[in-house]
Homo-oligomer: A and B are copies of this chain.
Amino acid sequence: MDSIDLKIIAALKKNAKQNTKEIASKVGLSVSPTFQRIKKLENQKIIKGYVAVIDQKKLGTGIIAFCQISISKHSKEVIDIFKNVIQDIDEVLECNHVSGSFDFLLKIAVTDMDHYHNVVVEKLTSVDGVLNIQSNFVIEKSKDEYLS
């Protein structure tokens, strides 16, 4: 792992559909070693995979909300139940267990406020142990990078 690997990662983080030749010229190597480095990064799972970036506004799910959720007990059971339920809620894009004044920070994509209401009231508040939900809606996203 050196600066060339970091350049390869930076390039693929922006656009994964570049061919090896393009990446090679960006990092100042020829195709062969570039190819080998990419494969190595993939095998080491430093590059975990490749995904398509979807414009959810064009799919009608343009409203993004962050939900701060507090749970009643910090037992493994309550936490595991919550995490399991979350997996099957399509509207939840991201679920982070966090430290601080609340327990989970969720990122949710919905089409409109009825949809949002449905997700929060029907799907989230009904989960065992969920005490409190506080939401913030995204007005504008001004930076976005994907790391996982």
Taking Cβ atoms with an 8 Å cutoff, the residues of A that contact B are 9, 12-17, 44-56, 58-59, 61, 64, 66, 83, 86-87, 92-102, 105, 109, 134-148
For residue A17, which residues in chain B have a CB less than 8 angstroms away from its CB? 16, 49-50
A139 CB contacts on chain B under 8 angstroms: 96-99
Chain B residues closer than 8 Å to A96, beta-carbon distance: 64, 66, 138-142
Expressed in whole angstroms, the Cα–Cα distance for A137 and B132 within the complex equals 19
- Name 15 interchain pairs, CB-CB below 8 A, sorted by A: A16-B52, A17-B50, A45-B55, A53-B148, A54-B146, A56-B147, A83-B143, A86-B142, A86-B143, A95-B144, A96-B138, A97-B140, A98-B137, A100-B137, A146-B146
- Kindly state the separation between the CA atoms of A148 and B45 in the bound complex, as whole angstroms: 24
Given A98-B66, A141-B96, A143-B93 in contact, is the A105-B136 Cβ separation under 8 Å?
Answer: yes
Q: Which residue of B lies closest to A18 (CB)?
A: B50
Check if B95 sits within 8 Å of A142, measured CB to CB: yes
The 4 closest A-B pairs by CB, nearest first: A12-B52, A95-B143, A100-B136, A98-B136
**B97 and A142 contacting across the interface, CB-CB below 8 Å:** yes
Across-interface contacts of A66 in B (CB, < 8 A): 96, 98, 105
Closest residue of chain B to A59 (Cβ to Cβ) is B46
